[in-house]
Amino acid sequence: MKAKFERILRSSGQVATRLVRVWEENLQLRTKLLLSFVLLTVGLTFGTLLVVRHAAMTHEQERIEKDASNAILTFEVVEAQMQQSLLHKADLLAWVAFTHDGDADAVKEASEDPLQTDDCNLYVLADARGIIQTMHTKGWAFPSEEAQKMVWRSVYRKEASGWWYGGGNLYRVVLAPFYEDASTKRNLRGYVVVGRSIDQRATRDLARIASSDVLFTFGEDIAISTLDPVKELQFRRQAGGDWGRADPKLNGEHYRAQSVQLNAGAWPRANLVVLKSYKELEAYLEGLNQLLLGLW
């Protein structure tokens, strides 16, 4: 009887052992399946975030370049309207110069007509050799030596319009010659030049439209910009005259630069530079990076 009881106990123990073993095997299998599922989920999430990060970076870079291009196109439209206005003014003053036999006082009086001065703030009358006879600026001074060089340069190039730089200011100018015989354009008497400066207000308006910083440059000089003085100095140093430098870093902030030459083929070059900050993109990517590191 005792032996029989011991056999039953051994048999029960073996069954219990088998049940425990089966339970352990099932638990290990479930753990492996759960771990595999977790790893798969993390891997898919990680891969998805990487794809999202790359797509966001590509999309934002395209948007930045598009915004910069739109700013340039906007200025080109405004600049074309400005040129038409200056052409009208120059033709009018050239006619006054012709009818008054090149009298500087008569032309100056016409140039200062309140009904005609809103669209320009630079006026120059030069003789047939390009020597300035009289000059008038509104708002700030244009050194006569610099103005004379600009006149000679434009006359030498036979420019009907161009960009001048003097006294730290950039001007869009139009030149109109006048003659003794207007009908045949014989016996050149001189030139009338009218111009309009690119001022801080216009620059800020353009920057607001583009949601970017904007600079106008002439040669190696920055004529006007919306950058603060520190960033402007850093950009000047980094660009080294190459205003289209792709990705300057200014005061720890990355930018995308896009430049267009305003006086195509001329030298010194006048450029419009649009600087679009990567700040928003970098903040978004930083959030994704922290999430990726958390998953890792």
Cα–Cα distance for residue pair 32/38, rounded to 1 Å:
10
- Starting at the edge strand found earlier in the chain, the sheet holding 186-197 runs 132-137, 122-127, 186-197, 169-181, 161-166
**Among 109, 49, 111, 104, CA closest to 86:** 111
- Starting at the edge strand found earlier in the chain, the sheet holding 221-225 runs 221-225, 213-218, 270-277, 253-261, 249-250
Q: What is the pTM of this model?
A: 0.72
Cα dihedral sign for 25, 31, 35, 37?
Answer: positive
pLDDT at residue 228, as a whole number: 92
SS3 135: strand
Angular region, 198: left φ>0, alpha ψ -120 to 50, beta rest: beta
Domain 84-200, classified CATH 3.30.450.20, yes or no: yes
pLDDT at residue 115, as a whole number: 40
Location of structure tokens 């036999």? 101
**Among 226, 282, 233, CA closest to 253:** 282
pLDDT at residue 41, as a whole number: 60
Query: Can you state the percent helix, strand and coil of the chain, rounding each to 5?
Result: 55, 25, 20
Pairing type for strands 122-127 and 132-137 reads: antiparallel
Give me 121's structure tokens: 């703030």
SS3 267: coil
Per-residue pLDDT of the chain (296 residues; tens, 9 = 90+): 555 545 554 555 555 566 556 555 565 666 666 666 656 665 666 566 566 656 666 666 677 677 777 777 877 887 888 888 888 888 888 888 778 766 666 666 666 654 455 568 899 999 999 999 989 888 778 899 999 999 999 999 999 999 999 988 999 999 999 998 777 778 899 999 999 988 888 888 888 877 889 999 999 899 999 999 999 999 988 888 777 766 788 888 888 888 888 888 788 889 999 888 877 665 555 655 555 555 55
Cα dihedral sign for 271, 277, 278, 281?
Answer: negative
pLDDT at residue 150, as a whole number: 95
pLDDT at residue 114, as a whole number: 46
pLDDT at residue 86, as a whole number: 86
